[in-house]
Amino acid sequence: MRDAKGLLEVAKEGISRHGADSDVGRSISSGADLLCALLIQDIKETSDGKAEIVKGVAKDRIVSVTDPEMRHGRKSAHQRFDGHKATVVADAETGLITDVEILPGNAHDSQNVMEVVERCEEAMGQKVEEVIGDSAYGSGGVRQQLAKSGRHVVARVPPLPPTGKFTKRDFKIDEKHDRVTCPAGHVCDDFSVVSSNSGSGRDKQKRKRFTFDAKVCSACPLRSKCVTGIAPRSITLHPQEDLLQSARDFQRTPEFRKEHSLRIVVEHRIARLIQLGIRKARYLGRRKTLFQVFMAAAVANLTLIANATDPMRAFVSIFVVLTFAVSLRFARPEHQKWTNGLLAA
């Protein structure tokens, strides 16, 4: 910490000497900002002036000074990674990849879903009426966004965490008359309005919380299957509870299973992109990683077209793209300016 503070003082003098608006001043300022961010996220200074390692992981933690845009991410509860996430959109009828996006590793999978859908519409020249995805796209917030624009979502509702007790699904919720009926048949119409974080954790949202009468709960024969401790059972409604309830009902129908099965198309396209190397980023930063995924998507689409069109013409197109991709793979550092220009275009 002492060495870092000394270095920041030197940086301050350098910025003052060269000017904050000069190229050298901006370069020094950028490095100083990165050093400050690293100090704040990992180290704290005690009242007696000593430095201590911060316990836990800072929100939006920078994991690499070489690529400061990398973030901690998770593929599952047990499988973690450091890097970026790729969003892949494919047309269910043709299998062609219509759009790709690169997100921070710690971003929610459904982030920027509206922007992605709108870009697909612009690319294809027609309206996207139905979005098929996994449970990450089945949250109430995503459903509300797409429903407002007249689009239908076919995705499983995110499962509730297992508790060994009755879940919200076991309760009959009547939002129209503001009442909730428990599995034992007791009705609760007493609710309070509480504020809680949205699924993304960024926004405070108002929610209705129904709390059953304590005397009724204590005498209920199903109490051991419903609650623990002495507190009565409460049910907090999601801000988009009506959309989620409708989605759960639709989820149990044969029509849902038929439409949801089309999601296998994009799974095959993702597997193809993995074959083409998108599991590992070849460049630094999300912008250049996006370029890498665009190149892989172009090759994947051309090979798909080759199976349905004239093989020779498809071969020539694929050869041109592959030659271009290989040239970038072995490009020397002095060619990076050209690559940056291409990316900007």
Q: Report the sign of the C-alpha dihedral through residues 250, 251, 252, 257, in that order.
A: positive
Taking 90 as the threshold, does the pLDDT of residue 207 lie above it? Answer: no
For residues 98 and 91, the answer to whether their CB atoms sit within 8 Å is yes
What is the predicted pLDDT for the residue at 139?
Answer: 87
Tell me the domains of the chain and their CATH numbers.
2-53 (no CATH), 71-156+261-344 (3.30.420), 176-236 (no CATH)
Taking 70 as the threshold, does the pLDDT of residue 291 lie above it? Answer: yes
How far is 324 from 333, CA to CA, in rounded Å?
16
Longest dimension (CA), the chain: 79
- pLDDT tens sequence across 132-175: 998 888 888 889 888 888 888 999 988 877 778 888 888 998 88
Q: What order do you get walking across the sheet with 80-90 strand by strand?
A: 71-74, 80-90, 97-104
Range list of H helices, 178-335:
214-219, 241-251, 254-260, 264-275, 286-306, 311-329
Amino acid letter, residue 229:
G
Q: Report the sign of the C-alpha dihedral through residues 123, 126, 127, 133, in that order.
A: negative
For residues 323 and 315, the answer to whether their CB atoms sit within 8 Å is no
Share of the chain above pLDDT 70, in %: 87
Mean per-residue pLDDT, 253-272 = 92
Taking 60 as the threshold, does the pLDDT of residue 200 lie above it? Answer: no
Of 9-18, 235-244, 308-317, the range with the lowest mean pLDDT is 308-317
Of 205-219, 261-275, 305-319, the range with the lowest mean pLDDT is 305-319
